[in-house]
Structures are given as C-alpha cells and as structure tokens.
C-alpha cells in the first residue's frame, strides 16, 4: 500500500523506506529504524543520532576543544565561537585575545565575577565608540544597540525613531506603540480620530457634519452635512460663519437688554416726578375730610344738648299721676 519496510532495515540504514544511512559517528555504525544509534557514539560526539559534538568540542570531527576562555566552556559545533561570550579579560569570537588593561570592570550578579565592560555610553572592542545619545543607560558593547531602552520620545533598536505626537508619554521601544491622547488613534497614535482634525488632531469636527465625521486635513465633512445643508465648505469656513452669526446674535441681545434697562429707569423717574403732586392732593383731601368731621361732631353735640334740655322741660310723669 505505501512501500514502508515492515520488518526493519539492513544494518546501516534507517527510515520508513530504509533509504537513509545511519550516522557515521555511531559507535557500531548501526541504528534503529528511527535513526537512533545502537551502542552509543564515537568519542567527542553526542546526541541520539550522534550528530553533534560532545560538550566542549567543535570542528568537522568534533576533535577540537572550545576555548577555555569561553563562558561555560561552550562553543558552536562548527565554528568554535563562544556561545555565551568570554570570561573576564578576553574578547573576539573565540575569546582568544586579552582585553586592554585600561578596560574597566563591573560586577556580574549572575556569576559573581568581574567581567570586562565599557563605561556607560561607550562600546566596541576597545570601548572607543560612543553609544547613541538616545540610548537609556548606555548600549550593548558588542553592536552599540540600545539594549536598556530609549529615552522618552524615541524607539527602535538604535532609538533613532521618534514616537508619534499622539502618544501621551513615550512609546514601546519594539514597535513604537503607545497610549493615545484625546483626538488621536492608531497602533502608534499617529493619525487623527474620525471626529478630530488639524495638525495636532485637537480640533473637533463640525456638529453639522453627519455623525460629526470629517477629513483630518481640513475638517470638511466626509459624509456630507446634516439637515438641508449642501455647502461643501470645510469646517473652518462654516465655523467662521457660525461664529459671525453668534456675534451678531449676541449684539442684538445686548442691545435689547440695554433698551429694557433704559425704559425701566425712565418709568421710575416719571413715577417719582408725579408722586409729589399726588401727595399734595391726598393731603388736601385728608384735611378737608378732617374739617368736615369736626364740624359735624360739633353740630351733633349741640343737638344732643338741645334734646336734653327739651326732655327736662317736658311735664313730669309724677305730676300726671297726681
């Protein structure tokens, strides 16, 4: 059905079709059908298929030793370059050269050993190159890249790119992404939101625009105007017109208010001028009424006296009884 070798392969071959040779580094030059060496590997070789150098060795036949100046004495199987760098005092790919005595040293917290490092702001084999001034806390000694981050407002491996104007406070070094200010949008906050426009995206689109959406360059409405407005003027012109109308309206309102205040003042002035005449008339009327009441009271008293005298002059009932 598929041509697979059901019963395994001849000695020295492996694979489903037994078409691959076992590694020549197998101790018995024999392997399972999966390619795993039977009996282990030859000296200086390792791995299930004996396809890589043993720890501390490199070269075509893994017969060369990694430099003793390599950290962890580990190097590339083919080139012999130190995978984890050099121990203190050495440099180059295989750590075969000694550092200058002028190179400063700093404490490595991982190995608790002193390792050769350049002063902050310098890099290179002899620490004679200057890091980009946008790097934060110096740069990598090997390539001068800003491994410790960028100053605020910059991003990129070399911190040469500027964060967008719409970022609130700096951006990520990897891709320049950030948190946006009001009116900005996008992964890097480098474009205006739909409802803002202008060089700094700080101007609102006109309320007469449908959904208040406008072009970011001039503020003209993208979907047209609301109501029956058909003018395609940019928002800046429309806003000027509205502002002129508002100014005229405020002038009319101010004029009306002043007119009302003046009329009220004139009315009160007229009232105050007429009030003394009315007061004189009222005083005269009150005096007349008082005089009339006095005369009437005197007449009433006189009549009362006459009545009393009349009653006294009338015949007595006692005389009548007699």
Return the half-sphere exposure (C-beta side, CA atoms, 13 A cut-off) of residue 120.
Answer: 7
Q: Which phi and psi (to 5°) does residue 290 adopt?
A: -65, -40
Q: Which helix (H) or strand (E) holds 13?
A: strand 13-14
Residues, the chain, total? 322
pTM for the model stands at 0.36
The answer to which of 55-59, 171-175, 266-270, 299-303 has the lowest mean pLDDT is: 299-303
**DSSP 3-state of 41:** strand
Nearest-5° angle of CA 151, CA 153, CA 158? Answer: 60
- Higher per-residue pLDDT: 47 or 278: 47
pLDDT, tens digit, 9 for 90 and up, residues 130-168 = 888 899 888 888 888 998 889 999 999 889 999 999 999
CA distance 49 to 22: 8
Lowest mean pLDDT segment, chosen from 2-16, 236-250, 306-320: 306-320
Q: Which residues contact 298 (CB under 8 A, 6 or more apart)?
A: none
Q: What is the mean pLDDT of the chain?
A: 78
- Number of C-beta neighbours around residue 80 at 10 A: 19
CB 118 within 8 A of CB 137: no
pLDDT greater than 50 at residue 320: no
> CA-to-CA distance for 181 and 185, rounded, in angstroms?
8
| Residue/partner pairs of 32-39 with CB below 8 Å, 24 or more apart | 33/5, 33/8, 33/9
Residue that is written with structure tokens 């047209």 in the block = 224
């Amino acid at each position: 059905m598929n041509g697979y070798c059901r019963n395994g392969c001849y000695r020295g071959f492996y694979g489903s079709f037994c078409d691959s040779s076992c590694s020549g580094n197998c101790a018995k030059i024999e392997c399972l059908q999966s390619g795993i060496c039977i009996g282990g590997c030859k000296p200086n070789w390792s791995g299930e298929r004996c396809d890589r150098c043993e720890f501390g060795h490199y070269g075509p036949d893994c017969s060369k030793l990694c430099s003793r100046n390599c950290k962890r004495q580990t190097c590339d199987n083919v080139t012999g370059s130190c995978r984890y760098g050099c121990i203190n005092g050495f440099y180059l790919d295989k750590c075969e050269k000694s550092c200058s005595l002028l190179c400063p040293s700093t404490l490595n917290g991982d190995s608790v050993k002193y390792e050769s490092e350049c002063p902050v702001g310098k890099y290179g084999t002899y620490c004679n190159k200057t890091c980009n001034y946008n790097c934060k806390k110096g740069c990598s000694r090997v390539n001068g890249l800003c491994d410790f981050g960028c100053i605020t407002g910059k991003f990129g491996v070399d911190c040469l790119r500027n964060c967008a104007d719409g970022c609130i406070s700096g951006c990520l070094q990897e891709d320049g992404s950030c948190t946006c200010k009001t009116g900005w949008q996008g992964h890097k906050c480098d474009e205006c939101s739909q409802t803002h426009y202008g060089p700094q995206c700080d101007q609102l689109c006109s309320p007469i625009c449908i959904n208040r959406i406008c072009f970011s360059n001039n503020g003209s409405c993208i979907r047209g105007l609301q109501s029956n407005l058909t003018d395609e003027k940019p928002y800046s012109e429309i806003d000027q017109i509205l502002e002129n109308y508002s100014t005229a309206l405020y002038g009319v309102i101010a004029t009306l208010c002043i007119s009302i205040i003046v009329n009220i003042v004139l009315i009160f002035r007229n009232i105050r001028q007429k009030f003394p005449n009315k007061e004189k008339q009222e005083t005269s009327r009150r005096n007349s009424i008082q005089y009339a009441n006095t005369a009437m009271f005197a007449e009433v008293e006189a009549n009362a006296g006459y009545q009393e005298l009349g009653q006294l002059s009338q015949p007595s009932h006692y005389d009548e009884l007699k």
